[in-house]
């Protein structure tokens, strides 16, 4: 449970800052934030900056550009979709899989860019 004075946006920002402190990614910064949406940036894979978008109302975290400039209908996109879907497999160790009772990851393709969205249906209780 989270304390009622901590917003969901602040909770996620604090978690992400913790990952940055641990060295999971670098160059973390908070971007624009509103009542139910926030943007974050971080330097991560291959020393690229990634934008992470939080939508509290939709209960989603989205990387709008995971793979840039991917050709439409490419094997790279299909392979990435398969990889993301495989993260839901019960064959994976619990600490490596996405529990479908809590969340789902999915890919999408737009304007040559592959994105990944994590949707959750867990209700975070407030005191």
- Name the pTM for this structure: 0.85
Three-class SS state of 96: helix
Per the structure, the complete domain to which residue 36 belongs is given by 8-120
In a domain, residue 22? The reply is: yes
Dump pLDDT digits (tens) for 15-51.
999 999 999 988 899 998 888 999 999 998 888 899 9
Rounded to the nearest 10 degrees, how much is the dihedral formed by the CA atoms of 72, 76, 95, 52?
A: -40
In a domain, residue 3? The reply is: no
Give residue 124's pLDDT: 57
Rounded to the nearest 10 degrees, how much is the dihedral formed by the CA atoms of 44, 101, 79, 74?
A: -90
Domain count, the chain: 1
Q: Are 125 and 1 in contact (CB under 8 A)?
A: yes
Average pLDDT over residues 6-22: 90
| Cα separations in angstroms, 43 against 24, 62, 69, 90 | 10, 15, 19, 31
Average pLDDT over residues 94-119: 94
């Amino acid at each position: 449970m989270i304390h009622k004075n901590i917003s969901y946006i602040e909770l996620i920002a604090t978690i992400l800052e913790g990952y940055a402190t641990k060295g999971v990614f670098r160059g973390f910064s908070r971007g624009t934030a509103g009542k139910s949406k926030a943007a974050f940036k971080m330097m991560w894979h291959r020393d690229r900056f990634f934008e992470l978008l939080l939508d509290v109302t939709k209960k989603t975290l989205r990387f709008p550009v995971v793979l840039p400039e991917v050709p439409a209908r490419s094997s790279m996109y299909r392979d990435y979709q398969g990889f993301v879907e495989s993260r839901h497999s019960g064959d994976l160790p619990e600490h490596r899989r996405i529990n479908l009772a809590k969340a789902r990851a999915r890919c999408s393709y737009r304007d040559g860019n592959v994105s990944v969205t994590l949707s959750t249906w867990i209700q975070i209780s407030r005191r």
